[in-house]
Amino acid sequence: MSTTAEAMRSAEAHSAHNYHPLPVVVASAEGAWMTDVEGRRYLDMLAGYSALNFGHGNRRLLDAAKAQLERVTLTSRAFHHDRFADFCTELAALCGKEMVLPMNTGAEAVETAVKTARKWGYEVKGVPDGQAKIVVASGNFHGRTTTIVSFSTDHEARDHYGPYTPGFEIVPYGDLTALAAAVTANTVAVLLEPIQGEAGVLVPPAGYLRGVREVTRERNVLFMADEIQSGLGRTGKTFACEHEEVVPDVYVLGKALGGGVVPVSAVVADRDVLGVFRPGEHGSTFGGNPLACAVALEVIAMLRTGEYQQRATELGDHLHRELNLLVGGGAVTAVRGRGLWAGVDIAPGHGTGREISERLMELGVLVKDTHGSTIRIAPPLVITKEDLDWGLDQLRSVLAAG
Ligand SMILES: *Cc1c(COP(=O)(O)O)cnc(C)c1O
């Protein structure tokens, strides 16, 4: 046990400074609430960037994990285990697809999607070897590997990590004309977030995703939706693509799939796409392990009920109604988002996103800033309306004081 100051000092001394966390040291958590080492309570309005959609310490998920912990946790894919087939079958069914390729982190799933698209391009579409192109959007966030940062437009994420992986074409997010123009005979995929999270919860113009679907279908290009943050209930639907009744060729999933307990990610698609892999051509020691499958199976069962999507819709409507009342009041210039997910732009002179986040922390609310002047709000979907209203009260008082 150590105090906040001691814990922060040790972390500062012995961990790489690749993050700049808020000065709070969490010791325990339940539902939408976290408690720090000194007993102070905070409302979690970030939910681990949607990894905690079902809240902290969710009973169903903990029970599933505990039961599996006592049975078998890891086999590697050298052997079958008895949770694997169910996990793949259930996740494929949730997505309306035929096959699943499990990994662990989101970045690994995106890497897997990139490899899938290239292999599909060479072996199915007939693109000359080494010529495959993938179209991506500016402002994207797909993870942190060397290949993924190669097509990032964020200098902090990308600079000094070259040489970069070629084969990516960056077009402005939300611009269908530019996207269509970037597609050539060698384009194998379009990779997009249906709503850009890190960029500040950017919702593309209405009709954009449907347009991307039409262009990719006409040009024989895979539409790969990175639903790692937007998927699994956050926006009020199982997948954010559903808001435009769009079904991509490839779903890239992560974060909430592991229920906030273990990292679980996956690429989900039909056999004509994921069927390109043969033994030895791709893999992961931990991907699809028994513990991961057991937790994810419970996540899928919970999503099947539709209750979390409904909560996200109802509470999200309330959240956006309340946040929109702040726009034009001086401190807030814009609010974006869908479901229980919002990006709030703070007006110049009312504090940076970081300063607003720190003041909210002092009042017992945890959020995260992005791109200097935006704060992101994404509480666990299990948050009560009363707690959400309390969190909004704290936001209003911070903005009024600033
Ligand atoms: C978080 C995230 C990733 C990367 O996931 P990690 O588990 O952090 O590797 C990729 N894409 C999107 C849209 C994300 O939000």
Domain edges within the chain: 4-57+307-400, 71-304
Residue with tokens 């052997």: 79
Residue with tokens 């100051």: 5
Please give the number of the atom of ligand 1 that sits closest to the Cα of 198. 15
Closest CA to 353 of 283, 361, 163: 361
What spacing in Å lies between the alpha carbon of 94 and ligand 1's midpoint? 20
Closest CA to 302 of 253, 242, 259: 259
User: Which pLDDT does position 373 carry in this prediction?
Assistant: 94
DSSP 164: P
Q: Which CATH class is domain 4-57+307-400?
A: alpha beta
Interacting residues of 72 by C-beta distance below 8 A, sequence separation 6+? 81, 290
What spacing in Å lies between the alpha carbon of 198 and ligand 1's midpoint? 9
* DSSP assignment of 242-310: GGGT---SEEEE-GGGGTTTS--EEEEE-HHHHTT--TTSS--SSTT-HHHHHHHHHHHHHHHT-HHHH
User: Which pLDDT does position 1 carry in this prediction?
Assistant: 58
Return d(Cα 238, Cα 227) in angstroms, integer: 10
Catalytic residue IDs? 141, 226, 255
What spacing in Å lies between the alpha carbon of 228 and ligand 1's midpoint? 6
Residue 48: is it exposed, middle or buried by C-beta count within 10 angstroms (0-12/13-18/19+)? middle
pTM, to two decimals: 0.98
Ligand 1 within 6 A of CB of 49: yes
- Which parts of 79-176 are beta strand (E)? 99-103, 133-137, 168-171
Closest CA to 268 of 84, 103, 74: 103
DSSP 144: -
- Which parts of 104-240 are beta strand (E)? 133-137, 168-171, 187-192, 222-226
- Alpha-carbon dihedral angle through residues 263, 196, 269, 381, given to the nearest 10 degrees: 50
The hierarchical CATH code for the domain 71-304 is 3.40.640.10
Which residue owns the Cα nearest ligand 1 atom 6? Answer: 106
Q: Are 240 and 338 in contact (CB under 8 A)?
A: yes
Q: Which amino acid type is present at position 344?
A: V
Please give the number of the atom of ligand 1 that sits closest to the Cα of 226. 13
User: Which pLDDT does position 371 carry in this prediction?
Assistant: 86
pLDDT string in tens for the chain (402-residue length) = 579 999 999 999 999 999 999 999 999 999 999 999 999 999 999 999 999 999 999 999 999 999 999 999 999 999 999 999 999 999 999 999 999 999 999 999 999 999 999 999 999 999 999 999 999 999 999 999 999 999 999 999 999 999 999 999 999 999 999 999 999 999 999 999 999 999 999 999 999 999 999 999 999 999 999 999 999 999 999 999 999 999 999 999 999 999 999 999 999 999 999 999 999 999 999 999 999 999 999 999 999 999 999 999 999 999 999 999 999 889 999 999 999 999 999 999 999 999 999 999 999 999 999 988 999 999 999 999 999 999 999 999 999 987
Ligand 1 within 6 A of CB of 106: yes
User: Which pLDDT does position 2 carry in this prediction?
Assistant: 76
What spacing in Å lies between the alpha carbon of 192 and ligand 1's midpoint? 12
